[in-house]
Structures are given as structure tokens and as C-alpha cells.
Chain A
């Protein structure tokens, strides 16, 4: 490639390897291969292609941000099944249901197959030629757009997809990359950062003797569920650790707890301080604890805490005693802690227990420093979307590009993103499926599926060093008119900044050059081609970093007692996150629609969970259609009687209620995002998703709840799932 018009510093930036890696050795192999030579004819198959025999290729799962290494079984040119990649430190050869369903995302009958452009009669198919003309006209070298006039709205994005995106924006003198995540953990990350100095510490689950989880569904919908599940399996081997889960609505993880407590939503921080109060009665814990912590907890005695939280004072004592007896422990907070007007303080109070218990350096460490900061994932927040929405509503945004997020579906009704989009003259969506947000765009571009495209991914949670995960096509693209996200961006970039990008025929060559250029950092002495081939074969390149240490600081906490329930809105409303549906982006996958939600076994629907005692008092039976009314809006759903819920709380799963997203998603259930009240965390400005309160109204209608469980949810004396007391189990003698 020519270096004449491009200085070396820019060159590295183009490839996303400036920063720590800027000390790389000089140019080595930079030849460009387009990947075309990989296409093979079955008339003259290569030696390793045997008809009837499946071959596994490594890639990376793109179904969530965990970055699991996967292996795709490819046979006669088709990808058939995904397994975990044993080389991956994250997946360790395992895979979840959501990951498995990646093949259905790829073969989905409702994939977008051609570019669409909005004309008189709405979005109609156009050729790529036209699409490129439109893109060039709006975003090409002659585009007058500058700075915040252009906005790139994405979900979490990492690796070279992120680098290219930000380089693209830079050609507009813009840094306006907005990352939105409907299930944002920004509040919890901020609290963790404030108290431990790390947004997402490493949890050494397998080393913990006791895990106290406040609503963190780490086995289901948490930060890296497959990795956590693998660690959890070790945690349950001899000497078996104990899991205590405290949350308003039982999550999948809560179902695995040794002891599960229902808590009044929003009082988790107060309970944590109550536990701290009890712990600090012991001299061993109070020794060396700063006076400010002692002052903070002094008013939170057991009885006071018990009144507010609904957790008995005996239970508070018992939890503290177990933390006292089982070290090291691990205390974690999840969405049900963060989603409140004082979510930051709630989560920080929970983290404070780790400091008092001395878990830092034992079960909690800082993640290794990243050699390539530009490749790390951008993590979404709600307020980023709210800011963008304001700019759009004020007419400041002239062009909006959307990738990997669907705010028209997931934003609450008090953030009318779809309406604001009408103020933006040019809106482009990069999608595999026409979703609600793409439906509001002017130009919709059909992407390759994750199993057809190249990419690199870097996960938020890196259990051991840093793994840069490679995604490679497992088969030829199904639709000739679909294109890779990287290829589309690169084509525009080549026009805007030809001196930097003209040498790359496609995203593949860009990726290969970038990775090979980064080779010295990975301390590999192989030739460039070997390094690249190994990376593709293994599905990852690993950088051996050491965990870092965590700090301990005490931010100011505000933990008022939540207001009492009122007669207008007598129930707490807790939206639940399904491990397979997440924010709703997977609702188009039939395997997941038909996969019973584990706690309720309900399929293909939305429902509202209510405690049997509450239901009895209100004379509600399973299948009664209820109207769930908040101050913001209402939805209707079937009642499901669920014992794992705090009795003043009702819960609905997120993810259903799509109006677009294909045949398997539309017309299924309702969308509870739309009834969330405009309540925000006081520090981070994040939407307080667990703070809405609702009223229930019986409509008099009734429908059968379609679910997998039979008429009884009990074992009726048959030995189906037997339970053994931990003190009787002889796990150390087992194989």
C-alpha cells in the first residue's frame, strides 16, 4: 500500500492500532488478499472438503456482546449448527440457546434482501447502484455535513467495526457516535467505577465461598452468561459455595439460589447498609474501616432496615453471619438494584459490602489493561439516546445512521424517537431485518448475517487477559444484494479519504492488514500469513494480560426510603429480561419464541406475573386478561400466578410486542417499554426501569396461557427433582 499521502501515525489510526500499539515495528507484510480465493467449486473440491462430512470453522457469536468463540459446522457449503469453540477462554467450548439460534438469524425467511429507499409510497426496493448514489450524494466527499450534524447511533460495537465507524465520523470532524442500550448497565458501572475504580471488575466466582447477588442474573442475562455458568459449575463443586439471591422477581439465577429473598423494589441499598451495619458489629470487620463508612451505616440497624425492605431482621442477621463465616465472598448488584431514582447509590451501597468484606483482590479484580483501547466495546446508555433525541427534535441533526439498535421499539413512550426522526432529513439503517427503527428511515441497507461477514469483536468482560475474537463467514452469502457493514462503510470512506482507504478492496483486506499490523503486540513470531491463518483457525488472538487491582473509595450516597405505594398505583412494576430475548432484538427467532421461559414455561406471548396470594385477594386467576396501567400508559396481558415475586410487585418480560421484525415477532405479546414512567437515576440520568408503579384492572376477559408446565407445578410426592441438604452431600468423593 502506498504510504506517500499518509503519515505513519494516521496509518495506524486507520487500522485502529494507535495508542499502546503505536510502538509497532515498521511495515512488514501488507499485501492484500480479498478472500476471493477461498471460494471453491464442488466439482473440484479441495482436499479438506468431503461431501457428506461436516467441517468446523471458528468464528465469534454476535448474538450478544459476550464475545463467545463458536465453531460452525459447515457441510456442502451450508452452515448447519453452532457449537462453542474450546479455544475461547470465554465460551470454553460451550454455547447458550441464544447463541445456537444464530443459525436461525442467518437463515431467517424475513431477512432484508435488497436496499430500500423511501419514496412516495413508503420504502421500496432499489438497486445498490441507486443506494450508493444516494449515499454518495448525502455522505460523499461533497457532503457539507460537519460535527454533530451527523450522528451514528449504534448498540454496543467493538473491534474494527468500531474503529471504522469512528474513522468514518472523523472525516466529518465528528465524534458523534451515540451508543444506546435499552438494557443499559450504565448506572451499575458508574457505581462500581466510583467505589472500586473499575466499571466491570472480574468476578472470581469459583473462588467465592458465598455469593450474595442483589438481582444480578449472571447465569441468564448478565454480562457474560456462558462464562459465568462455567464458573458457577466450579463454584458448586466441593467445597460447595452458597448462593443467596435478593430480588423482587426471581430470575433464572435466583431459581438456583440456596436462599432466595423477595425484596421491596428500590430498597436494596438500604438492605446492604443494614447487612454492613451488622457486619461492622464484629471487630474483625470494623477494624480499619474508615470513620465515614461507620457513620454511613450507623442508622441502619436491623429493625429499621427490615421495616423498609420487607426482609425480616432475622434474615438480615443470618445473611451477615454467613458473610462473616464464609470468606472470601462476592457481592454483586444487577438491574433490579440500578433501576431506581437512587440506583447509583443503591448499587454503590451493595458494592460497599465487598470493600468491608475484603473481597478485593480475592474474588474481585480489575480487568487487564487493553492493548488496543480503540477496539474495546462502546457500552450504551439511555441518556445518550435522550441527548440525541433532543438534538434531533431541535433540528440539529442532518443525517442519522443506525446500526445494531432499535430505539423506536425500546425507547419508552416519553422518548418519542420515531417522531424526532422525522426532523432528520436523511436517515440510514444498517439491518438484517426490517425493524421498527428501520421503518422510519429513508434508506435501509441489507447487511450480511453474522455468519456471512468478517469482523473482530472484543468483549466487555475479559476473564483472562484480552481476547480479540475473529468473526469469519461460515458460508457464501445467501442474498447477492446483501453487503457487509464494514464493506459499506469502507466504500464511503474510500470516497471521502481515498489516500487512506483506496488500497483496501474490501473489509476483509482491511481487517487482515490491521490484524497483521498488530502482530507484534501479541508476541507471535510467525510469518504474517501464518499469524493470520492461525487467528482465523483459532477464531481469536490472545493477549496475555494480568488482572489489575481495585481501589476502594466511598462516594456520597443518597438512599432515601422509597415513597409508599398509593391507591392509584398500588403495585411496583418490574420488567424482566429474558436471557434469550434480551431487549427484544431476538424475537424473530422461532426457536427462542418456542423455548419456554424457564421460570414460567410460557411460550410465544407476554404475560404479567403476580403472586398467588395477591391474585387470590384480587380474585385473579391464571389467564385473566389484566390491564396494567402506569402514569404513562397501559398494556393488556394475561395473568400468570408466580410464587417467586414480592407480593406488592407485578412483573412483565421485555422483548415482545413488535410491530415489525418479521413473521415470528409481529403480533406476539405486548411491549412493556411503552408504559415505563419518566423516572431517572439522580446521578447518571439513566432511565430508572424498575421504578414505575402500576394499577391492575381486570377486563373480564380470559384466555388460556400457552405454557409447557402441566396442570400441577409440584412433584406430588414423586421423586423427580430430589433435594439433598448441603451438609449431607459428599461432593468431594464424587467423580
Chain B
């Protein structure tokens, strides 16, 4: 694909999505809310993701080279600026569960030379493994750094027998040379949506959860269908005054916690974070 093609695609892509009312007639638009005041940084979500999605353990050496395959990770920060403001972290640490933000205008999508990363009708940013040629442009373009490349053929050694018996049969085990990322547990969604379709209905709120949301001991992660106005996630987005199709949010008053990370990059993420709260007088 030529450079001019890339640029042309980029422009059309950037002007096409998202728009107001985009999912009004759609049955599904998957979205999330993560309450950073409830997140305790315990890593239940990250291990749940390894278990659900056949993530390989890469070992110390490869982890050190930045080749870890954790689709969701807990980032830990010590301050909002560029240095400590006091000798100690007086108000605790800042924990951030970081996973694919399932951007509506995903920077990873238009740069894929083979269309391996694309947008699904229910608003997910997906990776088609058997199209991927491993250019890694998508990862380079992702501002959240949540795309993971298979530098090695992990099926060869990541699951010494009988660990491979734990592998989830609903999830592809990826081989060398392809990119992978959080899918919002697409296999669970697919099974649930198919079942609902057979029964002539759409999925009920909470009927399908991502592995991370299901495990989370503090229920900091709320997952659901944004196209269903009655779903908890849709009500939370509305309550927090975050509009999927806007790149800056107007709030009616102070103290409303919802925001999207790096929204100013016009990525239109599908995950709303709720600000961490601290009693600063304590």
C-alpha cells in the first residue's frame, strides 16, 4: 500500500467516525467504565485475562525487553507532574488499569497495510490474526501502548505439558509474527450474542461480562452495552456526562468524575475512567 493510499485512508477514516447517534439503531456497542477510586491495584483483572485469553507467560528476559503480553496491566504512578511533590506519596499511589480503549477512531486501524485491524459493527477494535503480517504499525501508532506483538512462537514453550490443557478452546492461540490485543473478551460476547439471537432477543445487561470485570473484587470495572440506553454502563456514561462522539466533554458542574484518557488525541475511546478521589484534608 502506497503512502498516498495510507494518507487518503487516514483522512477518510478520521472524518467518518464517530458521529452522533451512530449506534442509535445498532443492537450493541460495547463500552466500559473503570472507577479509579474503587480500583485497589490487586491484579485480579490481569491474572483473569491471562486465564481467559491464553496469554503466554514470556519469562524474565523477554519481559525485560518489553515483550510482556499482558492485555491489561496495572500502571502505578507517583504523581501527576514530572516529580514527587513531597518526600513521600502522602496520598497513596495512583493505580491505572490500562487496556485497549477500543477507540472509535482508533489510530491503529488506518495504518494497517492489510486490514488486519478493523472496527467491528458493535464498536470493537479487532485484530484478525490470519490477516496480520506483523508490520507493527498499529502498535507504533497506539498512544496507549496496549498492542502486543508475538516476537516468538509461544505455543512452542509457553505451556509446557500439561499447562496447555488450561487453554481456552474459544480463543485462538497466537503464533509468531502476529499482533494481538484486548478483545473485550470477544469470545464471551460472540457466544452470548449468538445465544440471544437464537432466542430472538438481545443480550440482557450484565449477562456477559469480560473476564476482568467478572473477577474484580471491588467491582471497579463496569462492562456493558452502550447502545442499550438502560444498561448500567450507558446510564453511567450519561451520568458522568461523557459523550462517545465528542473529543472534549462539557460538564454541567464541578465534581463529575468521568473522563477518557488522552481524549485530546481524538481517539474517542470506549472506556470512561472515573477520577480517583482522595480526602486531601486527611
- Chain A residues close to B by CB (< 8 Å): 52, 75-76, 78-84, 93-98, 100-101, 103-104, 107-109, 219-220, 225-226, 229-230, 232-233, 236, 240, 242, 244-245, 250, 252-262, 318, 322, 478, 579-580, 590-596, 598-599, 601, 603-605, 612-613, 643-644, 647, 663, 668, 704, 706, 708-709, 712-731, 733-735
Contacts and interface: CB of A to CB of B under 8 A. Distances in A.
A720 to B, nearest CB: 6
A82 B73 contact: no
29 contacts: A80-B51, A80-B167, A83-B214, A84-B214, A94-B219, A95-B217, A97-B46, A100-B50, A109-B162, A225-B217, A230-B217, A230-B218, A236-B37, A256-B40, A260-B92, A261-B88, A594-B58, A598-B42, A598-B93, A604-B59, A604-B60, A706-B60, A706-B64, A720-B75, A720-B94, A721-B96, A724-B257, A728-B255, A735-B239
Nearest first, the 5 closest Cβ-Cβ pairs linking A and B are A97-B47, A255-B93, A229-B217, A604-B60, A233-B218
B38 A599 contact: no
A258 B46 contact: no
B279 A242 contact: yes
B57 A594 contact: yes
Nearest to A612: B84
Interface centre among A104, A709, A715 (most CB of B within 10 A): A715
A705 to B, nearest CB: 9
Nearest to B168: A80
A318 B79 CA distance: 24
Nearest to B143: A718
A677 to B, nearest CB: 27
Contacts of A242: 279, 282
Contacts of A84: 214-215
Interface centre among A598, A704, A718 (most CB of B within 10 A): A598
B44 A100 contact: yes
B122 interface: no
A94 B256 contact: no
B254 interface: yes
Interface in B192-218: 211, 214-218
Contacts of B275: 722-724, 729
Contact of A729 (B44, B73, B81, B277): B277
Nearest to B73: A708
Nearest to A252: B41
Contacts of B51: 80-82, 100-101, 103, 591
A318 B211 CA distance: 42
Interface of B: 36-38, 40-44, 46-48, 50-52, 57-61, 63-64, 68, 70, 73-84, 87-96, 160-163, 165-169, 211, 214-220, 232, 235-236, 239-240, 253-257, 259, 261-262, 273-282
Nearest to A96: B44
B95 A721 contact: yes
A228 B223 CA distance: 22
B118 to A, nearest CB: 27
Given A82-B51, A724-B277, A734-B239, 17 more contacts: A76-B169, A80-B166, A80-B167, A81-B52, A94-B215, A94-B217, A100-B215, A233-B218, A256-B93, A260-B89, A599-B93, A603-B63, A644-B88, A712-B82, A721-B95, A722-B80, A723-B80
A593 to B, nearest CB: 7
Nearest to B60: A604
A514 to B, nearest CB: 32
B217 A595 contact: no
A715 B81 contact: yes
A723 B81 contact: no
B219 A596 contact: no
A604 B215 CA distance: 24
A644 B259 CA distance: 28
Contacts of B240: 734
Nearest to B98: A720
A107 B161 CA distance: 8
Contacts of A722: 36, 80, 259, 273, 275-276
A233 B42 contact: no
Contact of A723 (B61, B68, B235, B278): B278
A225 B81 CA distance: 32
Contact of B75 (A603, A709, A726, A735): A709
Contact of A735 (B38, B87, B167, B235): B235
B276 A109 contact: no
A232 B218 contact: yes
B92 A719 contact: no
Contact of B91 (A253, A260, A318, A731): A260
A322 to B, nearest CB: 6
Nearest to A259: B282
Contacts of B254: 728
Contact of B95 (A80, A255, A580, A728): A255
Contact of B43 (A97, A232, A478): A97
A100 B68 CA distance: 19
Contact of B255 (A101, A252, A730): A730
Contacts of B76: 255, 598-599, 601, 709, 713
B220 A244 contact: no
B259 A726 contact: no
B92 A254 contact: yes
Contacts of A101: 47, 51
Contacts of A717: 80-82
Given A643-B78, A643-B84, A715-B80, A252 B40 contact: yes
Contacts of A478: 162, 165
A430 to B, nearest CB: 21
Nearest to A729: B277
Contacts of B220: 233
Given A255-B92, A257-B91, A225 B278 contact: no
Contacts of B78: 643, 713-714
B228 to A, nearest CB: 14
A254 B63 CA distance: 27
Nearest to B43: A97
Given A590-B57, A595-B47, A716 B90 contact: no
Contacts of B282: 242, 244, 258-259, 318, 322
A605 B61 CA distance: 11
Contacts of A706: 60-61, 63-64
Contacts of A229: 40, 42, 217-218
Contacts of A245: 92
Given A107-B162, A735-B232, A591 B84 contact: no
Nearest to A664: B57
A596 B42 CA distance: 10
B79 A714 contact: yes
A225 B43 CA distance: 12
Given A81-B52, A220-B42, A109 B89 contact: no
Contacts of A233: 38, 217-220
Contacts of A322: 282
Contact of A594 (B63, B87, B280): B63
Contact of A598 (B43, B162, B214, B273): B43
Contacts of A109: 160-163
A720 B42 contact: no
Contacts of B163: 104, 107-109, 590
A663 B158 CA distance: 12
B161 to A, nearest CB: 6
A726 B279 contact: yes
Contacts of B77: 713-715, 720-721
A579 B52 contact: no
A663 to B, nearest CB: 8
A724 B259 contact: no
B65 to A, nearest CB: 9
Contacts of B52: 81
B230 to A, nearest CB: 12
A628 B272 CA distance: 45
B84 to A, nearest CB: 6
Contacts of B211: 81
Contact of B42 (A252, A254, A644): A252
